[in-house]
Amino acid sequence: MIMERFGARLSKAIAARGSLCAGVDPHPGLLRAWDLPEDATGLERFALTATEAIAEHVAILKPQSAFFETYGSKGIAVLERVVELAREAGALVLLDVKRGDIGSTMAAYTAAYLADGAPLAADAITVSPYLGFGSLEAALTAAETSGRGVFVLARTSNPESAGLQGTVTAAGRTVAQEIVDAVAERNAGTAPLGDIGVVAGATIGRGELDLNRLNGPILAPGFGAQGATAADLRALFGAGSPAVLAASSRDILRHGPSPSALREAVFRVRDSLRD
């Protein structure tokens, strides 16, 4: 059982290891680049090599669940091992599952990823609010009860997201801003940092989101391979943001399969964020 809240644990991890969120994304193209077979054996070698090389040097490790699910039960078994190894190395685990549903289905997802004793229980997960922010209540409550966190998709880095997430509602705010504001309400008064974060792409336009009241972590995809730099993150989110996690996967993983090359890539990215 986790005794300390996620926001507090994340704050300590960032202070100790920096703000890099390193992805473990066993994309078929990366397996080929590592000269590994595109099967469960190749997946296991890729994922465990990457995790063992990277996890002890980052605050948070983010496995992308879809690339493990592709291989069925064998892939899920590898994902369980990745979560276990990362935790042994002292990294927090953010499982990128982007789940979002209603009622008993959302409750089942919550039991799979946020309940004590679940084989895939992570420190935090990503969730989608696009069935309505209220549909996430089971996940938000479970995370609070178990000392875990949730990252809610708000303004993502994919180009096709702008049409929906940038739509202005009757309240005069964009859909993305309404999500940020709903998260801010849940985090209000929590110190040193709220347990609910948002996903806001590092490639979005400056001024698109008002994050001043968020009081929670920001997961920023689009960093590295998608073009955003550490300077872009500072310009977009400002020096006052308490926890901006720069998400990078391909930019690091392309340096494998050498463990030392993977570690050196992590150090370069991590140091650029500190500077």
Q: For helices 230-237 and 259-274, give the axis angle rounded to 10 degrees.
A: 40
> How many angstroms separate the Cα of 249 from the Cα of each of 13, 21, 66, 110, 125?
19, 8, 14, 25, 17
d(CA 54, CA 250): 13
Name the residue among 83, 46, 45, 79 with its Cα closest to residue 61: 83
d(CA 232, CA 134): 32
Q: Is 98 a catalytic residue?
A: yes
As beta bridge partners, residue 24 has: 63
d(CA 234, CA 211): 13
Q: Amino acid identity of 208?
A: E
Is the previous residue joined to 257 through a cis bond, with omega within 30 degrees of 0?
yes
Q: Let me know: does 254 contact 4? Beta carbons within 8 Å.
A: no
Number of helices and strands in the chain (H, E): 12, 8
d(CA 77, CA 73): 6
Q: What angle do CA 228, 229, 231 make, to 5 degrees?
A: 125
Which residues have a catalytic role annotated?
A: 98
